[in-house]
Every structure is written in C-alpha cells, then in structure tokens.
Amino acid sequence: MILLFSKEFELITKDISMNSEFMRLNNCVHHGISRLDHSYRVAYYSYKIMKFLKLNYVDGTRAALLHDFFIDDVVDLGSINRLRKHPICALENAKKYFDISPLQEDIIVKHMFPVTIRPPKYLESIVVDLVDDVASIYERVSGITHEVGYTTMVVVTMITNFIKII
C-alpha cells in the first residue's frame, strides 16, 4: 500500500508505529492485504475526514490505527462471532500498550456497528466505522482473493442488525 502520510499524521501515530507488538499486524492477512496496511488505510482516511470536520482527530486517528489490533484469529475466519469479538480483543491489546481515552475505547469497540449492535457514542466513532467499511469493501473487491460468500454474510448480518435497532 502506498499512502503519503503527512508529518502531523506520522507524529500522532509514531509511538504506535514503533511498537513491536503492533507491527506484528504486518504478518496477519486481512482482506487480501496485511492487517497493518488495512489499519493504516483506515487511520489515514479517518484522520483526513476528522480533521476536515474539526473533530478530535488526534484521539480518533490513534484509535483508528488500533481498531484491528489483534494478532491471532479470535474465532473461525468466516464466523459472525469473530466480527463481534475482535473489537474487544483489539481494545484489550490497545490498553496493554497505550493509554486509551473513553473516545478511543468507543471507536475501537464500536467500529463494527451495526454488527456489534450497540451504536457509537461519538461522531469520531461513526467516521472510523464508515471508513473501515469502505476500506474493507475496497480491499475485498480490488483484491484477487476476495470471498463473495463471506462478504455477503457480513452485509446480510449488518442489515439484519440495523433493522433490529430501528
């Protein structure tokens, strides 16, 4: 992945980028690319949008970078339980290595809404959730290894849970 990050983005994320445990995400395949590349994509575009909207882009960017901070598969790859549980694992890992604010916690735990059912509390959480959705779709569609059945299951589950909330 080639993204030209701004100096400000690099400063906001520097300590995370230097964390050896976080860098292990480079070895985890996610939507046909590394989970590290996916996390940087979500963080960078979330940063740009939150900064434009004059939201808390510092905490938001850091949380976006940590939103998929889990190394091992939580459960079976194609399972809806994995979609629901991995944000909790990501938050636990983030708290192990970094100070996490309530805003960052909400972003990490709710980045899979409506699959995770509980809605985000903050606008920053909504931004990261939407950017993650768009990035995931882009990565799956543009990758050679995308799985139509898995993607269909995710979309159907999201729609079903959203309808339940309404």
Q: Say what the pLDDT of residue 115 is.
A: 76
Query: What is the 3-state secondary structure of the chain?
Result: CCCCCCHHHHHHHHHHHCCHHHHHHHHCEECCEEHHHHHHHHHHHHHHHHHHCCCCHHHHHHHHHHCCCCCCCCCCCCCHHHHHHHHHHHHHHHHHHCCCCHHHHHHHHHCCCCCCCCCCCCHHHHHHHHHHHHHHHHHHHHCCCCCHHHHHHHHHHHHHHHHHHC
- Lowest mean pLDDT segment, chosen from 66-80, 84-98, 137-151: 137-151
For range 140-145, the mean pLDDT: 63
Tens-digit pLDDT profile for residues 117-127: 788 999 999 99
Q: Which residue has the higher pLDDT, 101 or 158?
A: 101
Other CB atoms within 10 Å distance of the CB of residue 31? 23
pTM tops 0.85: no
Tens-digit pLDDT profile for residues 39-81: 899 999 999 999 999 999 999 999 999 998 887 654 444 555 5
Which tokens is 8 given? 């400000």
- Asked if residue 148 has pLDDT above 60, the reply is no
How distant, in Å, are the alpha carbons of 49, 96, 113 from that of 130?
11, 26, 9
